Structure formats: C-alpha cells, structure tokens
Amino acid sequence: MLVIIPDWPCPASIRAYATRRRGGVSSPPWNSLNLAYHVGDNPIAVQQNWQMLSALLRFPSTPQLLEQVHGTDVVDASDNGTFQRADGCYSNQPGVICTVMTADCLPILVCNRQGTEVASLHAGWRGLADGIIANGIARFSSPPEQLMAWLGPAISQAFFEVGEDVYEAFMKNEALWGSRLELESCFRTTRPDHWQCDLYALARLALKALGVRGIYGGQFCTFADADLFYSYRRDGQTGRMASLIWIS
C-alpha cells in the first residue's frame, strides 16, 4: 500500500492520506516514492511518482505544494500548482488539495466535523515552538471543539535528541502550551543540556490548549522504520513523504 489512511472519524466528504516511501520509481538514496523536487532526485522520477499517486487517489486537482521554511505562516491553498512560501495551507473549497512534505518533521492534518474546512501543517520543532499549530487552527471558522487533527509520520522521542537551544525555544513560549509542567514532560533528559524531544506530545499539548479535543494518530517513527519512511536525521540525503487532505 502506497499510503496510510488516517484512522480518525472524519466526515465522509474528507479525503486524507499520508504516503510511505515504497512503491515509486526513484533510485537510491531517494528510493522509491520520493515526492520532493528539491532534494536532488531526478525530476522525471518525481513526476512519475506524483502521476502514480494521482491515479491511485484520484486527485481532483494539482496538490498545493509549499516552499516550506520551518516558519508559522499558513496560507490559503491554491489549485494552480504554484509554490507558496509557508508551512501550512488551508481550504474551504472542494477539490483543493492541502499538502505538506516531511521526512522527520510532524505532518498534521486538520478538518472540521462538518467536512467543510481542511488544513495541512508542517510542524518541525521550530514551527511547533513558534506557534504553527495556533496559526493553523486560527484559519478555521469552526470553533476548536468542532475540529479534529491527525498526527502523521514523524520522528519519535527516542531518536530525537536536542540541545539547549531547542529546549529554550519551547520554554520561552510557555503560554502556547497551557502548563509549564506538561511542557517540561515532553522533554526527557539524556545528558547535561540535552533532551529527547517528543514532537507528538508537544502537538497534542498545543492542540488541547487551543481547545481541540479530537486528536488522533501519532504512533509512528520515521527514524526507526527505514523500510517504510524517509528520515533526514537518519540518512541525510533522502526523499520526502507527502500528507494530503481535501474536501471531495
């Protein structure tokens, strides 16, 4: 199976998927379903991978691809194939595919319970620390309690050691998390001034602080499962997976 189908109670009108690395035509080190044009892969192979995925999932339009910069901007998704500089996109229009690319960072897919609004967010540690989730949730006209979020494939806490710069980036924005104690629980000390950082726990904490109660997924590890997932931290030069959501 080329894709993961999120296990969440989304409305029937919502289509949501996350790709794995298997099933494409890219050669090593991008083998094989690489969907990113910016990582050194043959663009013809990347295009063929997208064509296979489009045929499988029956894309209604060209996916909105972003120029991701580890920031907090969330833009209105476009279906015209242009790259917008942002780390999240939102749509309330049927057939517009909100897409983010990852290879350790956390992809978050969000929809409302009415099935009329969707968003995809690219949440690395910088984006999480600076409020990408709050910015994404703010794009919805539906109240947070009417939203649900799915946490896609990302690096797990056991393999994501960070230094003091990352730790302090989260602690200085304590207001985003609701509880200093719960925020600190997302970091496990490994050695002096080093911690294992739990991206999934941080995302859940941020979503709960905003009032989102329907939170699903978060059981993956891109670093540990080299057969299924790309991991930049593990491999350096490698491919990217896509997480996509749209209103049918």
Where are the chain's structural domains?
Answer: 12-247
DSSP string, 45-59: HHHHHHHHHHHHHT-
| Residue-wise pLDDT tens digits, 204-234 | 999 999 999 999 999 999 999 999 999 999 9
From residue 148, alpha-carbon distances to 88, 118, 227, 239 in Å are: 16, 10, 29, 28
CA 189 to chain centre: 26
| Residue-wise pLDDT tens digits, 128-152 | 999 999 999 999 999 999 999 999 9
pLDDT band of 80, cuts 50, 70, 90: low
Q: What is the pLDDT of residue 174?
A: 81
Q: What is the pLDDT of residue 186?
A: 97
Q: What is the pLDDT of residue 12?
A: 97
Q: What is the pLDDT of residue 176?
A: 85
As given in the structure block, the two tokens for residue 187 are 């970091």
| Residue-wise pLDDT tens digits, 29-68 | 999 999 999 999 999 999 999 999 999 999 999 999 999 9
Q: What is the pLDDT of residue 65?
A: 93
Assign domain 12-247 to its CATH architecture: 4-Layer Sandwich (3.60)
* CA neighbor of 9 nearest in space, from 111, 118, 152, 124: 111
Other CB atoms within a 10 A radius of the CB of residue 58 amount to 8
**Mean per-residue pLDDT for 116-134?**
98
**Mean per-residue pLDDT for 22-28?**
97
Residue 72 pLDDT greater than 90, yes or no: yes
